[in-house]
Structure 1
Amino acid sequence: MQELIKAEAGKDAAIPNHAEKRVTNLSKKLRYIRENYFLYLLIAPAIILTIVFKYIPMYGAIIAFKDFSTIKGILGSEWVGFENFTKFLFSPNFGTIFMSTLKLSFYGLILGFPIPIILALMLNQVRRAAIKKNVQLVLYAPNFISVVVIVGMLFIFLSPTGPINQVVTMLTGEPIGFLSDPDYFRSIYILSGIWQAAGWSSIIYVAALANVDPELHNAATLDGANIIQRMIHIDLPTLKPLMAVTFILGAGGIMAIGFEKAYLMQTSMNLPTSEILPTYVYKVGLQAGDYAYSAAVGLFNSIINVILLVVVNYIVKKLNEGEGLY
């Protein structure tokens, strides 16, 4: 009986102790915030911008489930449920547009992902600072060229009378319709994108390699390791966590390809491969004025991105010993 009384007394004592512990932790957090308030002030603009431009606009996604009318407004429009989604899923263009988007993004990720890593590994081996800076300047410069200028350069170089086709004509006797043939669109789009973004994307890997202890390379050199072996056994393990995160983010945004470049490169003859979800949303939404239908297509695209992000993160965590995005 006495043991039972002691046990009950222990339970009663544990409750205030637990509550007291929570109050203590809360007071510590509040004290830390008061002492470091300037850190929260620094991050406040980013939080506010994220809420205003990322979370508040989510309210507009409601029109994807409505027969939206600009006169009635979002709340006044008739609720139609998944009608806009089924309309898109069973449309004759769905398969072509979806696969074009998926192929363009997937090939771009697979071909473009290793290039910045290779560039970073090569730049890390350049010991003369002046040469390294000049090479980095050349590699980073294309990132600051606008998409409109890039597409204009493509039209100039790949036109039937452009310099590339002049060489092709000398060799084969006739020019190639690079910008009119659907078979060439993906290659041109992906390769030009790699040329533009690879150098800039390598910055994060170059910064990570700067933290590698030089003594590791010196010790490996003394043991007879060549440059390739040092890259494989020293540099790549350092980049492994970063590579996992960037790959997950890239795969998560595989369907979030921008429409500007694809839209500017479109011609009436390469539409079978150049028509992708973002350009389709732009045409049916802003040009045709079917806002509800275009919102449904855009929301479908976002849902696919979220699913891919979760799946790829799970796979990478399994293959990478628990290291993932979250």
Structure 2
Amino acid sequence: MGVLSQYIERAVSEGGAGIATVQVSLIRPVSEAVRPPRALWVPFPLGRPLGPPNRPDVQIDVLRQTLGLVDQPAAPALVDYPDIIEDDIPDEEGWSCPVIFPTAEPHTESDSLKAQLRRETQLLRPWFDEGLRRRGRTTVGTSGKGPDSIGEMLGVLVNFSADADMEVPDGYAHPMPQLLRYLTADIRAFYFEAATSKPGVPFPSPEDLEEWFFLETMVGDVFYQVRERLVSADILVLLANGLEDDEIDSLLVLMAGTTAQTADEVVRKPGISRDLLKVSVEDFYADLVGRFARSIVPIAMRDRRHERIRQAK
């Protein structure tokens, strides 16, 4: 955006539009490097450039100060938005999901796992519907199907996590494993929108939501299993192409030593299908290896789960 602003502000004779621009900056080092003509740096997390939810006073002030930069005669100008005074923010209790899920260990049997996931989504559905009523919209639908198909989406993930089943149900426009990206995006949206729909409670931070989803829900565990299937296929392809363990760790963004620890198990019992292996080989030669696994579970959540497992031992 900063680079584009520079072109827009150029004189018409130089190929620009001669129009003054302003923007909000969330990452100060990037703005300092790009040097946009006029930018307001705000101390808010990514995804919230105008400030915290339910604070229209702050959000309007951010907009006013951003638009006010158009009067800055000198460019580039990077102005800091003042930190919000803590006393100005109403006291709130910490965020928690409005639903308490029954404590259960993941089962290897697909039918049992699907039943637990159905129970999980049934508990969340009233809150999802409440959020949909209040917001009037949902971000569920990138896969081509809506909230009523969440159960089917979860079934696809469970089948894939069990034996890398590549079958695509009717109604989806994407093949496997590409479809996994869209299914996981829709499932996360369903859970996030349900979990943030309880009236009268503070809006959670993105970190709180991700930790809850990936570390506290049953579906979060399924996401890890899906990731492991994808990683296993990639490791097998890279081993077959003669890469060293540390090269594979680096290429797949794995923790150091992961390939060495899992290589024997992957070779003996890969838990992957020929179709998935074929896609992984194609990705390797297209220099795209690892792209699907990284889109299922964020690196930070992978590390958090690893730490939790290590502490439990």
TM-score (norm 1): 0.25
Bigger helix fraction: 1
TM-score (norm 2): 0.25
Structure label with greater radius of gyration: 1
